[in-house]
A and B are shown apart, each in its own frame.
Chain A
Amino acid sequence: MYEQLGTKTGVQAVQQYRSTFQVQAAPDGLVFAPPQPNNFYGDVGIPDRLRAYVTDLRLLRHIPLAYLIPDAGLLPPECIRFFNIDPTWMDRVIDGVFSAANTGTVDQMFGASLLAMIRNAIDTDLTALAQTSAPTTSWNGGQPMTGMLIRSDLVRRWPNLIVRAFSTAPDDYDDIDNLGTVGVLRAEPISKDIYIAVFGGTPAMVHIREPFTGTRFGVEEATPGSTTWTVDGHNSDGTPTHAAVPVGVKNAAKRTLNIAGLATKVGPPRMVALHLEQNPYVQEFKNSVAESTGSVPLSNFILADGTLQAVQLRYGRTMNMAALQQRQIQIDQLNPKEKL
């Protein structure tokens, strides 16, 4: 008969161990603070699949959309929303995942003693992830995270749009590569027309860039709905002149362009190609811009004579406001009391 090694029973031992955890009833459940440092374990071994899954949870993956957007009004059509992520909420999800393996007190205490190390491991993974997109970032996984939601036709038509985040938002800059960057931890569509981006930290400026699709050639409507076309002028060394060059029409019904006429204006074939080339567009969002400008009523663009004011785009083009006006009319008819 072996002698017992200690004088305590197993229950007593677990109870004594549990008492070191400072378990308390909190408004959102039982919480505890595990003893630090852990006297037994130096590290925690998590299967790769599980580790990737819980790290993804921190990036809002696997979370049903209804939990993120409990009401459709939080993400109306054609909108962009910037948000902060509640780290405690996300930690609770992961706590819940690991609670699924606990079948009794001993299991629970064993698992609980590892939770701090698991949380640290996930933070470490997120830190590394941030550094892949922003090598100089000082952010670590234990620090605040923010993000952006886009619900727009933009996502359906350009699902591989490019999101970049910066720690500064200068009014002017020569080389974007010299700006400090904020890690983009996640940037992907989550449905046909919804896109999400998660940042490691709080960016001062966010760029949404038209994706690279190789070379594209095209023209711009000089005025919405017209068959008058223009291209952006270029010097022979490729630098833009910022002057619009009109492109004539050969057959308006067939939408064929007078390429020979353009060549007469701009030069040999390489200059024709240079003028027809369309560069990707980049939209900036800066925290220095007043929030109130983020949404303005259509009525701001209706002139005294009832016509629509032109919204200028690149290369002297203007935005086609007629579609917006038509949609506003439809909404007014559906909700006569609701004035946006």
Chain B
Amino acid sequence: MSDQVQFLNNLTPLIDSGTPSAPITVTQTLNSLVPAGSILAFTGPTSVNIQVNGPQTSLTQSDISGVYPAAGSLDSPDDYLPHIALHRRTLPWERKGPGGAKPWLALLLLKDSELKSLTSGGPIIVGNLPISNLPGNLAINAAIKENIATTPASGVGKENLAAQPVSGAAKGPIIAQPIAAVQDHVSIVRNGNSLPALVTDVFSKMNARDAAGYASLHGKIADTTQVQMLYLQNSLFTAIAPAQNELVDLCTVKRVNRDNTGDVDTAIVIGNRLPDASATPPELHTAFLVSLEGRDDAYAAARTQQPNGQIGLVVLFSWSFTPSKGGDFEEVIRAIHIRPNGGVERFGNLPKAPDAGKPVPLSGGFDALLDDHGFFIDPLDHTQAGKATFRGPLRPFPPPPRSKGFAIRSAPEEFTDATPDTPLDYSNATAFELGRLLAVASQDLLEDLHQVRGIIKTIDKQYVAVNKLPLALQKPEWVVDPALEESSPWEMGQANAMTPVIKNENQFVGATPGDVSGVGQQIQQYGSQVQNVLTTIGAVSTVAVSQIDINTVTANDLNLRFGAVAAKGQF
């Protein structure tokens, strides 16, 4: 069974992060073994205070489960929203955001141009000035210089640039711009001061650029805390940030029910802005996870009334990516079958119909480069004599059965005496030479090739019986014949059955009399035949052949039977 996924509205902790410590009442009971008034009696407080301090001004990689689009990616579709997944499942609801409501996190998406063009207090036309009165140190662009050179000064008016008011705290550089209707005057413009949108500094510095925001956070973040701040013009923030009532809809919890490991919860913060891949090439985008903790000021009317003012936001995490306009997976793969795209076809076919009146070379009603066997219909250019042909290993149709042969030399020699009309198929010869060249090109392969070894066949001994006789009583030849073992002698049919010579202990020691040498058995089988032969040839048998009972035989008996033989053996 596969994983199941659920989305939850939120996971709100019982105690918010950063709130003053909360008491927990503790009840302790000592059992009756402790006598009253004992020094072991517990006299401490009955409650303890705890405080939760979750992440507030920054996140580390370990806090983050994942981001989408991936940082540095170049091809995420522009209709997918960025989002960040957090291991700490309660994080978005651990603090209070604007209006005292939860969550307190938002994901903002900014294009690179929006970050670079952040200015403060401008541009503002601070006055008009006759060209003749332009200060020498004023930045004048080339068009104005040309205008100055060709337009006579009329001496109309004169204004004191230094006395002109400049709104906003920051004062940017002054430039002169031509006035279309008045050729001998220029407008003096003070641009907004270029200020970095991203600043890493102590928190107290926020006061200089966003006093209202600083006031909202004062007391929540220490002035000396190092924070990364994102400064946006109020107008831009209002345009791209989620509305205050949308914050709650953009935070969720993803719960994955896993068979073996139980539930895994991940908090997710989703952006509300789609990437813009319309530029060529598409712009770099950066997603910012920002804190809106206590930021009632962010959605106050004052922000909209001062569109050129700035709002500062504490950035907990950010990553950059470049979106793509190329459609999503479905659109790209579905478009393949529409020409001029190449289509979904059999190998060798072309994405077009054959010329009028021409047959279909392969299949599907398409024109083709290959024939049924995978050879080029129109031979490729080559320098070989004759009609050399080639095909690779890829074929339009199932190939002939696999050859059972092995090549030990490539073909060209064999083509030498071929008849003129024989197509010189270099395909397999090419393959052979390719393999040879691949091996020769690699010292490692050559070294390994010399390590290839045949493994000699070994007899796999499988013991079918174990002789329990003492070694002293076993004959060396009483082993299983490997040849017989391979042919499974124990399974011989009745017609070929023979009495095994090898005895086990029951037939041997336990039997009375025991047939140590197998002579008794042989006498039974062949004794009469032997006797007949001996009689036929006139041999004299003085003593009838009989067997010895090994269990009862004595030295005296042996002496009686074999005394003469033993005596002969002593000389």
**Is B408 interfacial (CB 8 A cutoff)?**
yes
A292 and B364 within 8 A (CB): yes
Taking CB atoms, residues of chain A closer than 8 Å to B370 are 74
Question: Whole-angstrom distance between the alpha carbons of A77 and B340 in the complex?
Answer: 9
Please tell me which one of the listed residues B337, B390, B407, B437 contacts residue A70 in the complex, with CB atoms under 8 A apart: B390
Q: Which residues of B contact A46 (CB under 8 A)?
A: 448, 452
A50 touches B448 (CB 8 A): yes
Are A255 and B344 closer than 8 Å at their CB atoms? no
User: Size of chain A's interface in residues, with CB distance under 8 A?
Assistant: 148
B residues in contact (CB < 8 Å) with A: 5-10, 66, 68, 70, 75, 77, 79-81, 83, 85, 239-240, 242-243, 245-246, 248-252, 254, 268, 270, 272-276, 324, 326-352, 363-366, 369-370, 374, 376, 380, 390-400, 402-411, 414, 425, 427-440, 444-446, 448-458
* Set of chain B residues within 8 Å of A88, measured between Cβ atoms: 399-400, 402-403, 428
Q: A315's closest neighbor in chain B, by CB? A: B330
| Complex alpha-carbon distance, A101 and B448, angstroms | 9
CA distance A95 to B232 in the complex (A): 68
Measured CB to CB, the closest approach of chain A to B31, in angstroms, equals: 48
**CA distance in complex: A1, B436 (Å):** 44
Q: Which of B85, B343, B406, B458 contacts A294 (CB 8 A)?
A: B343
Q: Are B346 and A95 in contact (CB under 8 A)?
A: no
User: A40-B456, A254-B273, A269-B249 given. 15 additional CB < 8 A pairs?
Assistant: A28-B428, A29-B414, A29-B428, A29-B432, A50-B452, A79-B336, A90-B431, A95-B407, A100-B439, A251-B239, A259-B250, A273-B270, A291-B363, A301-B338, A340-B339
Which residues of chain A are within 8 angstroms of B326 by Cβ–Cβ distance? 153, 157
Known pairs A93-B435, A100-B440; A112 contacts B408 (CB<8 A): yes
The answer for the CA separation of A18 and B390 in the assembled complex, in Å, is 31
CA distance A172 to B28 in the complex (A): 65
B425→A28 contact, CB < 8 A: yes
Q: Contacts of A50 on B, CB cut-off 8 Å? A: 445, 448-449, 451-452
Q: Which residues of B contact A101 (CB under 8 A)?
A: 439, 446, 449-450, 452
Number of A-B contacts (CB under 8 A): 449
- 19 example contacts (A-B, Cβ-Cβ < 8 A) are as follows A24-B405, A32-B406, A57-B438, A67-B434, A71-B376, A76-B342, A83-B347, A147-B394, A149-B347, A152-B332, A153-B332, A214-B68, A276-B270, A280-B329, A283-B330, A291-B363, A295-B339, A295-B344, A339-B352
CB-based contact A259/B77 at 8 Å: no
A259 x B249 contact (CB < 8 A): yes
Chain A residues within an 8 Å CB radius of B347? 74, 81-84, 149
CA A142 – CA B395 in complex, angstroms? 17
Smallest Cβ-Cβ distance to B408: which chain A residue: A30
Chain A positions 100-139 with a Cβ under 8 Å from a chain B Cβ: 100-102, 108, 110-119
Q: Does A310 contact B (CB under 8 A)?
A: no
Contact pattern, A 278-290, Cβ under 8 Å of B = 1, otherwise 0: 1011010100001
Given contacts A60-B393, A79-B351, A295-B339, A213 and B435 within 8 Å (CB-CB)? no
Report yes or no: B331 in contact with A319, Cβ–Cβ below 8 A.
yes
A333 to B213, CA, bound (A): 59
> Mostly helix, strand, loop or mixed at chain A's interface?
mixed
Q: Distance (Å) between the CB of B512 and the closest chain A CB?
A: 48
| Distance A31 CA – B555 CA, assembled complex (angstroms) | 75
For residue A297, which residues in chain B have a CB less than 8 angstroms away from its CB?
A: 338-339
Smallest distance from the beta carbon of A179 to chain B beta carbons, Å? 15
Residues of B within 8 A of A43 (CB): 454-455
- Residue of B5, B248, B249, B449 near A262 (CB, 8 A) is B249
Whether B394 and A84, one on each chain, are in contact in the complex, defined by CB atoms closer than 8 angstroms, is: yes
- Chain B nearest CB from A115 CB (Å) reads 5
A17 within 8 A of B: no
Across-interface contacts of A93 in B (CB, < 8 A): 431-432, 434-435, 438
Q: Which one of A7-15, A183-191, A216-224 contacts B?
A: A216-224
B431–A294 contact, CB under 8 A? no
- In the complex, whether A75 has a CB less than 8 A from a CB of chain B is yes
- Which A residues are in CB contact (< 8 Å) with B276? 255
A1 to chain B, nearest CB (A): 29
Provided the pairs A31-B406, A100-B445, A331-B340 are in contact, do residues A92 and B432 lie with their beta carbons within 8 angstroms?
Answer: yes
Nearest-CB distance from B237 to chain A (Å)?
Answer: 11
**Interchain CA distance A273-B250 in the complex, whole Å:** 8
> Do A340 and B352 have beta carbons less than 8 Å apart?
yes
Q: Which residues of A contact B408 (CB under 8 A)?
A: 23, 29-32, 95, 99, 102, 108, 112
Are A91's CB and B366's CB within 8 A? no
Q: Are A285 and B397 in contact (CB under 8 A)?
A: no
Q: Shortest CB–CB separation between residue A121 and chain B, in angstroms?
A: 10
Report yes or no: B448 in contact with A47, Cβ–Cβ below 8 A. yes
Q: For A215, what are the chain B residues with a Cβ–Cβ distance below 8 Å?
A: 5, 68, 83, 85, 254, 268
Of B10, B350, B405, which one neighbours A73 at CB under 8 angstroms?
B350
Q: How far is the CA of A321 from the CA of B335 in the complex (A)?
A: 8
B451 CB contacts on chain A under 8 angstroms:
45, 47, 50
Q: Looking across the interface, which residue of chain A has its beta carbon closest to that of B243?
A: A260
By beta carbon, the residue of chain A nearest B241 is A256
How far apart are the CA atoms of A127 and B112 in the complex, in Å? 53
Given the interface contacts A88-B402, A154-B333, does A96 sit within 8 Å of B439 by beta carbon? yes
A5 within 8 A of B: no
A97/B455 in contact, CB under 8 A: no
A124 to B440, CA, bound (A): 26
CA distance A221 to B325 in the complex (A): 12
Among A117, A229, A260, contact of B454 (Cβ-Cβ < 8 Å):
A117
Report whether B246 and A260 are in contact in the complex, using a CB–CB cutoff of 8 Å: yes
Residues of B close to A92: CB separation below 8 A: 407, 428-429, 431-432, 435
Residue of B nearest to A103 (CB): B450
Is B452 within 8 A of A86, CB to CB? no
- Given A84-B399, A97-B438, A294-B345: A49 and B448 interface contact (C-beta under 8 Å): yes
Q: Given A42-B455, A213-B68, verify A272-B249 contact (CB < 8 Å).
A: yes
A155 to B, closest residue via Cβ: B332
Q: How far is the CB of A30 from chain B (nearest CB, A)?
A: 4
Tell me which residues across on chain A come within 8 A of B403, comparing CB atoms: 31, 87-88, 91
How far is B390's CA from A204's CA once the two chains are assembled, in angstroms?
29
A229 → chain B, closest Cβ, in Å? 8
The residue of chain B having its C-beta at the shortest distance from the C-beta of A220 within the complex is: B79
Please, which residues of chain A bring their CB within 8 A of the CB of B268? 215, 273
- The reply on A303 being an interface residue by CB < 8 A is no
Taking the closest CB of chain A, its distance from the CB of B111, in whole angstroms, is: 9
Q: Is the CB of B454 within 8 A of A320?
A: no
- Annotate A305-328 by CB proximity to B: 1 below 8 A, 0 otherwise: 000000101100001110010011
Name A295's contact: one of B10, B329, B345 (CB within 8 Å).
B345
Question: Is there contact, CB below 8 Å, between A28 and B395?
Answer: no
CA–CA, A319 to B444, complex, Å? 51
Q: How many angstroms between the C-alpha atoms of A85 and B398 in the bound complex?
A: 8
Quick check: B392 and A70 within 8 Å, CB to CB? Answer: yes
Residues A44 and B352 in contact, CB atoms below 8 Å apart: no
Question: Would you give the shortest CB distance from A155 to chain B, in whole angstroms?
Answer: 10
A84 B398 Cβ-Cβ under 8 A: yes
A31-B407 contact given A57-B435, A79-B345, A84-B395, CB 8 Å threshold = yes
Residue of A nearest to B82 (CB): A217
Cβ contacts under 8 Å, B440 to chain A: 100
Q: What is the chain B residue whose CB lies nearest that of A50?
A: B448
Across-interface contacts of A295 in B (CB, < 8 A): 337-339, 341-345, 349, 351-352, 364, 366
With the chains together, A324 CA to B335 CA distance in Å? 8
Closest to B444 in A: A49
Highest count of chain A CB atoms <10 Å: which of B5, B239, B331, B365: B331
The answer to whether B239 touches A78 (Cβ under 8 A) is: no
Which residue of A108, A319, A321 has the most chain B CB atoms within 10 A of its CB atom?
A319
CA distance A108 to B409 in the complex (A): 10
Q: Provide the A230-260 mask, 1 if CB < 8 A to any CB of B, else 0.
A: 0000000010000000000011011111011
Say yes or no: A68 contacts B429, CB within 8 Å: no
Q: How far is the CA of A215 from the CA of B380 in the complex (A)?
A: 49
- Minimal beta-carbon separation of B26 from chain A (angstroms): 37
**CB-defined contacts of A77 to chain B, threshold 8 Å:** 341-342
Q: How far is the CA of A209 from the CA of B346 in the complex (A)?
A: 20
